[in-house]
């Protein structure tokens, strides 16, 4: 595909996903405000170190979250939101900070690593599941905070129907498409010990971050 066309597609996807992101941002405030936590519990946000490919925790199947109100889980959510923002990511899964729980943050916004990403409020998705998906599969570029310096063209379902528990403990059902659906599928894989390079159809679909910036973003 010519680079100019690829960029146009990126922009069209970004516009479509922005509407979807606006819809997502109306869901529960996340992380839970201190005022809603049990009396005497105050959460101090910290940046969590991100583990990299080769660390065995990234290859484990993560554990179901039993108690969303648990102080440790609420703090983990808060730390993940801060960590993904600082790292210029659009999503981060708990196993990436060596916490093997089935929870991730989707936090799409334009940044240095993803200039065309749609803007949305960071959303915590706990015990997430894909309950249905399109037959259409789309290949597009992905990177991963745990696989620095590498980008790959990854095939993903164009649209998915998902279910997850939000940070307030409410069950949410949503249909996600394009970029946001891609983030969900990427993060969901982390909960099963899968990283995006496992999904590449061909090693020729893998390039360095520097080449990605020159060939894809600045074209």
Residues that bind Zn ion (CB under 5 A): 144
Q: State the DSSP code for 128.
A: E
Q: Pick the closer one to Zn ion by CB: 148 or 169.
A: 148
- By CB neighbour count within 10 A (0-12 exposed, 13-18 middle, 19+ buried), where does 219 fall? exposed
Name the minimum Å distance from CB 86 to Zn ion: 15
Q: Shortest Cβ distance from residue 109 to Zn ion (Å)?
A: 16
End-to-end CA distance of the chain: 12
Residue nearest to Zn ion (CB): 144
- Minimum CB separation of residue 144 from Zn ion in Å reads 3
Measured from the CB atom, is 97 or 120 closer to Zn ion? 97
In 3D space, the residue among 191, 190, 164, 188 whose CA is nearest the CA of residue 175 turns out to be 164
User: Which of residues 127 and 146 has its CB atom nearest to Zn ion in the complex?
Assistant: 146
Instruction: State yes or no: is 187 an active-site residue.
Output: yes
In this structure, the number of other CB atoms found within 10 A of the CB of residue 122 comes to 22
Nearer to Zn ion, 97 or 144 (CB): 144
CA distances from 74 to 42, 44, 101, 118, 169 (A): 10, 11, 12, 26, 11
Nearest distance from C-beta of residue 39 to Zn ion, angstroms: 37
- Which of 20, 78, 142, 187 is the catalytic position? 187
Look up residue 176 and give its DSSP letter: E
Please list the active-site residues.
Answer: 187
């Amino acid at each position: 595909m010519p680079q100019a066309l690829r960029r146009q597609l990126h922009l069209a996807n970004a516009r479509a996903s922005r509407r979807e992101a606006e819809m997502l941002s109306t869901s529960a405030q996340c992380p839970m405000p201190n005022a809603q936590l049990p009396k005497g519990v105050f959460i101090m946000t910290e940046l969590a170190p991100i583990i990299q490919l080769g660390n065995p925790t990234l290859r484990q199947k993560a554990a179901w979250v039993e108690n969303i109100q648990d102080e440790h889980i609420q703090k983990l959510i808060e730390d993940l939101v801060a960590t993904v923002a600082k790292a210029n990511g659009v999503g981060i899964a708990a196993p990436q900070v060596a916490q093997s729980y089935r929870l991730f943050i989707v936090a799409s916004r334009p940044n240095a690593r993803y200039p065309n990403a749609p803007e949305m409020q960071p959303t915590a998705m706990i015990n997430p599941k894909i309950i249905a998906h399109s037959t259409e599969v789309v290949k597009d570029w992905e990177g991963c905070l745990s696989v620095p310096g590498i980008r790959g063209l990854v095939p993903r379902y164009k649209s998915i129907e998902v279910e997850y528990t939000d940070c307030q403990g409410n069950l949410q059902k949503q249909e996600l498409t394009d970029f946001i659906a891609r983030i969900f599928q990427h993060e969901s894989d982390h909960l099963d010990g899968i990283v995006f390079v496992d999904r590449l159809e061909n090693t020729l679909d893998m390039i360095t971050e520097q080449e990605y910036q020159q060939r894809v973003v600045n074209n």
